[in-house]
Amino acid sequence: MPFDNSFAGLPPAFYTRLMPTPLPAPYFVAASAPAARLVGLDPADLAHEDFVAVFTGNDVPQRAQPLAAVYSGHQFGHWAGQLGDGRAILLGDIAGPDGRMELQLKGAGMTPYSRMGDGRAVLRSSIREFLCSEAMAALGIPTTRALMVTGSNQGVIRETMETAAVVTRMAPSFVRFGSFEHWRYNNKPEELRTLADYVIETFYPALADAPNPYVALLEEVTRRTARMIAHWQAVGFMHGVMNTDNMSILGITLDYGPFGFMEAFDVDHICNHTDQGGRYSYANQVPVGHWNCYALANALLPLIGDQEAAQAALDVYIDAYGEKFDELLHAKLGLKSTQENDRALADDMFKLMQANHVDFTLFFRRLGELEVDVPHAQRDEADAPLRDLFLDRAAFDAWAAQYRDRLRLEGSVDAARRVAMHAVNPKYVLRNYLAQVAIEKAQNGDFDEVRRLLAVLERPFDDQPEHDSYAALPPDWASHLEVSCSS
């Protein structure tokens, strides 16, 4: 594998060079074919023991330059000081058909930034990150990718004794908002400038010609972050731990821990059991994303040199989010035009979903099956799959009548609208209980369910009738599942 490492070209203060810590008797768990193709690898080769050794950290390729990066950040709104790659080691980057991708081993052993941690990841959390990274990519949401998961029977202590694993993550860059905060709060202006220049030159070269490239960088990252979060909200995804060290400078979803996909709709739902105050609830993701951009602006301010210019760059957030979410929501509702009362129609829909705790994914998927001109006597039966998601069926009927009127206003055709809506409203998302079933089987040495679930999630918009069970309402026991920062 022809590795390079552009990040290693930065001064030594930005990272620590070190080798991964080998794991005993590593084994193959699963790999993503779409991710493999991004770096020119044959998916069929990844189960071979040579690749398992490389992507566990037991055998480092000659041209790789392994390192752990330093950064800082705000965690749950409080300054946490120095953080860094405490259990992730960057091997380097590989050129693929669509550009270079950095490959990072998460769970590859202790680093100087481990902060009393053991530097390991467990099979449970590695499978969750692997599956969600690839599920999000298939949904069309900006995200880091996951190439593969390997495991080892070496014990790792979390709440209980678990076994070790390594997930190979991929992204054009793993630079975070906290990477800039680190140098700002340590009063290192030259390092701050060096990092900003590296990011602009490597990932945003068009910004170099802007009157103030650092303002342009802040504005572009703010815009990308807003659009990313609009994608999250539109599919019901909750990140769970939106600390500034978990925010990508490229505006891609980074660090999958206590994430969740909305099931029974609750705008205030908290997917992270650790988040007692609800800072990272579904509703708060939009303002917290803006807050995080303010933190980035503060970090860049010594380079920008003009507070008003920084504020103007941040001001793009609200419009960028609103425009993207409106675009996505119109597509989810099968609306091709924009009309004056669309906002009220959508607001009434979300209020109705909230009052009835309707399953988010099933509602939008089944909404695509609604027919506009059904005789009144047959309407209840025709609407039953969607209508039965609601306890208050009369309230649903009233909203559905408004929705049908709106569809008639633009001459919507049922068959064409159904195709369009099914292309943006997934049938399959990574529900926590689906991940849990796959994890429990994997913990007993059976990895088939991880691979089967991955295959389903790679085609989230397809009907896949043979896998209808993966699209069903969650079982009762799933309501007791909890995920936390250790997930």
| Cα(141)–Cα(253) distance, integer angstroms | 8
β-partners of residue 169 are 104, 146
| Cα(232)–Cα(446) distance, integer angstroms | 31
Q: Which H or E run contains 259?
A: none
| Cα(126)–Cα(152) distance, integer angstroms | 12
CA atoms within 13 A on the CB side of 440: 5
**Which two three-digit tokens encode residue 246?**
């978990």
| Cα(420)–Cα(417) distance, integer angstroms | 5
In the three-class reduction of DSSP (H, G, I as helix; E, B as strand; rest coil), residue 412 is classed as coil
β-partners of residue 272 are 483
Q: Is 382 exposed, middle or buried (0-12, 13-18, 19+ CB in 10 A)?
A: middle
| Cα(166)–Cα(151) distance, integer angstroms | 6
* DSSP label at residue 248: B
Mark whether 255 is an active-site residue. no
Q: Which of 93, 245, 275, 383 is catalytic?
A: 245
| Cα(100)–Cα(95) distance, integer angstroms | 4
What are φ and ψ of residue 270, in 5° steps? -115, 115
Residue with tokens 């749950």: 76
Catalytic residue ranges: 245
